Structure 1
Amino acid sequence: MNVTLIFLAAIAAIIIWWLAGQRLTSKPWLETGSVQLPDHVGTERPAPAVKIGLFVFLGVVGAVFSLAVSAYFMRAASADWWATPVPRLLWVNTAALALSSAALQWARREALHGRVERLRPALAVAFALAVLFLAGQIQAWRELTAAGYVLADNPANSFFYMLTGLHGLHILGGLAVLGHTTLRAFATDIASDRLSLSVDLSAIYSHFMLAVWLLLFVLFAGWANDFVDLCRTLLS
């Protein structure tokens, strides 16, 4: 439960920090004497509605995973719980997802500067690495089932397949958007504002799903309880 609260607090802190950066709490009707300047003078543009919607969606996704992790901890206290071994392939998958997120951050920077010729390979690399992550997850499932760790064998297996499958579905949804963005980048010679926004949203989504996967990986590896014990020791 403590891990769940820490995760929810981290998500809330990130959302509040971003909203503060977008100046969504300002009251323009109380600011007298101000003059609206053109966009090219350096004024800060308000956040697009689709970006705000993405953060709201990520907040909901974070809550869903937090509830699932909370259920994982409560169920793990039962006598019929046998921990599922972590396939070594998950280390490779984690590296692939981290590199995909890094490639999208690279693409985000190139789109900001309008360098389409550098944006295209960055998007292609990010897409390929995300596909590699999903393929690796499926292979990890096959290794576990071949070793006898089937879905209905014990609750730990069920949670492993459920959480990794739920995360994989979210990665698949992000891949659909990223694929469309990549095709648009190869079809144009100029990084338009709409294309830059799509790259920005894909990068934010990828970073969030990487953070969720790192939490799940720590959970499956059995390091979460050690982390909580360390926090308790430091606070006591």
Structure 2
Amino acid sequence: MEEKFAFVENAEQPIAMHPKKFALWLFIVTVVMIFASMTSAYIVRQSEGNWLEFDLPEIFWYTTGVIILSSVTLHWSYLSAKKDELGNLKTGMIITTVLGLTFLVGQWYSWVALVDRDVFFVGNPAGSFLYVFTGLHALHLISGVIFLIIVLISSFKYEVHSKSMDRMEMLVTYWHFLGGLWIYLFMFLLLNH
């Protein structure tokens, strides 16, 4: 009889994940599938001809730098939270939030630059795709900035620290994903415009 219990006691524990983290990963997979299908549609439509050739606005380079820098400052915040360096956590969160908002403003100005180059949402599909890519990414980034603000407020309430990292870990995952997604889109557009 003891042998049966010994077998049960030595059973491996299943891999567990916080339900909200699991939902976040499902959402990320969904977004990846959406952008993969849109970039595939872009390539197919571009090969059909009647495609407007234009240079991407310079501001895309700046916004790319901003999003990369925001990932660095958020990761610094994350490491600070793990070490209970709450002052650095708050500083990093404030900087990251400002950088996230700066990226969104930069995206707006990129649309202004596109209009100045006579690239519009309606008309040629090249412009339509560009506006959809950047607009959909901006929409997801708005949700990321809201998430940043929620975690920023939580950090000022001392709810984010080494013993309470779930929210911070989810934010870091989502924000790094958004940064990676932008870099993918930017590189794709550079190579295929």
**Among residues 199, 202, 206, which one is paired with 2:175 in the alignment?**
206
- Counterpart residue type for residue 184 of structure 2: L
Gaps of 5+ in 1: 1-30, 37-42, 225-236
Give the equivalent residue in structure 2 for 1:52. Answer: 22
1:89 aligns with 2:65: no
- Counterpart residue type for residue 214 of structure 1: I
Deviations 1:73-128 (A, max 9, x none): 10111221123321111100000001111111111111112221110001111111
- Counterpart residue type for residue 216 of structure 1: L
Paired residues of 1:130 and 1:175 also in contact (CA < 8 A): yes
Distance 1:156 1:83 in 2: 8
Q: Which one has more relative contact order, counting CA pairs under 8 Å at least 6 apart?
A: 2
Report the Cα offset of residue 189 of structure 1.
Answer: 7.6
Paired residues of 1:116 and 1:189 also in contact (CA < 8 A): no
1:120 aligns with 2:90: yes
**Among residues 9, 14, 18, which one is paired with 1:33 in the alignment?**
9
- Counterpart residue type for residue 213 of structure 1: W
Distance 1:142 1:177 in 2: 27
- Give the fraction of aligned pairs with identical amino acids, expressed as a percent: 26
Q: Quick check: 54-63 or 142-151, which moved more?
A: 142-151
Deviations 1:186-221 (A, max 9, x none): 122872644x22111111111111111111101111
TM-score w.r.t. structure 2 length? 0.89
Distance 1:83 1:222 in 2: 12
Report the Cα offset of residue 176 of structure 1.
Answer: 0.7
Displacement over 6 Å in runs of 4+: none
Report the Cα offset of residue 35 of structure 1.
Answer: 8.8
Distance 2:53 2:183 in 1: 18
Distance 2:104 2:123 in 1: 24
Cα RMSD of the aligned pairs, angstroms, is 2.3
- Counterpart residue type for residue 32 of structure 1: V
Q: 1:187 to 1:65 in 2, by over 3 A?
A: same
Distance 1:132 1:161 in 2: 18
